Amino acid sequence: MVRPNLKVVSLAILFSCIVTEVNGEVSASTPQMGWNSWNAFKTNFNQSTIKTTVDLLESTGLRDVGYNYVILDEGWQDLERDSEGRQQPNTTKFPDGIAALAQYVHQSDMKIGIYSDAGIYDCAFYPGSWGYEELDAAIYATWGIDYLKYDNCGGFEANTQSPQVRFSAMRDALKNSGRDIFYSICEWGHQFPWYWADQIGQSYRMSGDITTIFSDTGKDCACKTAYCLNTGYAGCSVLTIIRKMREIAEFQHTGSFADMDMLEIGNANMTLNQERTHMSFWAALKSPLIIGADLSTLSNSSLSVLTNKEIIAISQDPLGKSAVFLPNVSVEKTLQVWAGPLSENRTVLLVLNESNDTMTRNIPLGQITGLRGDLAYSGRDVWSSKNLASIVGNLSLVIDADETKVLILK
């Protein structure tokens, strides 16, 4: 075959998650990228936290490789609505208000996101937006909000109204707000949103919350597959969420993406191989890339993982197709092989060593979706930043424990 041009794809694809506006509605051409306060700070953040994060996104180069949303998760609100029924910020935490903070974010060429809930209150009993959708969407637009993460707590309504009804109400309110606001649904995968959420939001959570644990200890979230009826339970390890995506990956498409939750890179005592595996799968499976770490304590090693331009290019590839699990060449609990198409007639291949020891494996190219065993391919080892010699028939790999080889073949 013709030897590929292995240069990283265009800067326009690399350095920005593409969001367009179609008929008054935001559409996500590629998975969104940004930072969210929850993983590192829970509800314990304030105006200073956000401004410091904005400055660090810029100074570390994270903004320039595409992380352009700064999202205030649960905890920005006051416990009561104002006299006119509107959500309002906690003035101790945000003395200058949200509009002024939005201006600060916009001045740094980034976008600001905020959090609410499809119930009468959210998970920490701050006011939710059920019954106030139009009012809340209007105030978000007035403040200059660009992104809404919309959660699934709220008591009575969460048990009596379908998520389709509750989440659609806010979708319609955002459309009527007069501002283009990206809509990120956080339904936890309870009612299999990969079947319906693309008609409502630009991304949708497919699982309960992630935790800092890399591999399944037997004590993390109860549900290990996409169709388990306890799928919304929190505390899911990185590998458990990857396991759930076996059934969901085929639903990924441009316009709306399954969200594997915020990245724990920089938050946990993961090894470099584990952090790279985490980043590799979130990118190749087309999850949003939302950093969850405290950037003021981020190590250079973690920063290098988050800013790898070739991995980000896989995430932001314009084809928008996820890699899928290949059971015929995988070994349960030992070796995972995933592959998927990229633009320019390329294929991305992920090979994960799930064991505790280094292994050598020969991967037959003829068993990889989109490839043939009788053709010669040239390729790129992404994490090693090395071009590969011509490959025919089998791909021979030496893979360390918890390492994922990411290869681009053409």
Known catalytic membership, residue 151: yes
Count helices and strands in the chain by DSSP H and E runs: 11, 18
Q: Class for domain 15-315, per CATH?
A: alpha beta
Give the pLDDT band of residue 14 (cuts 50, 70, 90): very low
Q: What is the pLDDT of residue 322?
A: 99
Tell me if residue 374 is catalytic: no
Quick: pLDDT tens for 311-368: 999 999 999 999 999 999 999 999 999 999 999 999 999 999 999 999 999 999 999 9
- pLDDT score of 158: 72
CA distance 254 to 386: 29
Which of 117, 122, 146, 151 is catalytic? The answer is: 151
Cβ burial of 202 (10 Å; 0-12, 13-18, 19+) is buried
Q: Which of 117, 146, 209, 402 is catalytic?
A: 209
Alpha helices in 43-96 (DSSP H): 47-59
Structure-token pair, residue 49 = 């936290």
How much is the mean pLDDT over the chain? 93
Q: In degrees rounded to 5, what are phi and psi of residue 135? A: -65, -45
Which tens digits make up the pLDDT trace of 96-131?
999 999 999 999 999 999 999 999 999 999 999 999
Q: Hey, which residues does 117 pair with through a beta bridge? A: 151
| pLDDT of 10 over the 70 cut | no
- The answer to whether domain 15-315 and domain 324-409 are alike in fold is no
Q: Is CATH 2.60.40.1180 the right assignment for the domain spanning 324-409? A: yes
Cα 111 to Cα 34, 269, 290: the distances in Å are 9, 30, 13
Instruction: Judge whether residue 269 has pLDDT over 70.
Output: yes
For the record, the structure tokens of 198 come out as 């693309």
Q: Answer positive or negative: Cα dihedral of 339, 340, 346, 348.
A: negative
Q: Is the pLDDT of residue 25 over 80?
A: no
% the chain with pLDDT above 90:
86
The pLDDT score that the predictor gives to residue 3 is 33
| Domain boundaries defined on the chain | 15-315, 324-409
Tokens of 308: 């790898």
Question: Count of alpha carbons within 13 Å of 124, Cβ hemisphere only?
Answer: 14
In 3D space, the residue among 70, 116, 78 whose CA is nearest the CA of residue 97 turns out to be: 78
- 3-state SS string over 320-380? CCCCEECHHHCECCCEEEEEEEECCCEEEEEEEECCCCCEEEEEEHHHCCCCCCCCEEEEE
Q: Is 314 helix (H, G, I), strand (E, B) or coil?
A: helix
Closest CA to 110 of 43, 33, 163: 33
Residue 133 pLDDT > 90, yes or no? yes
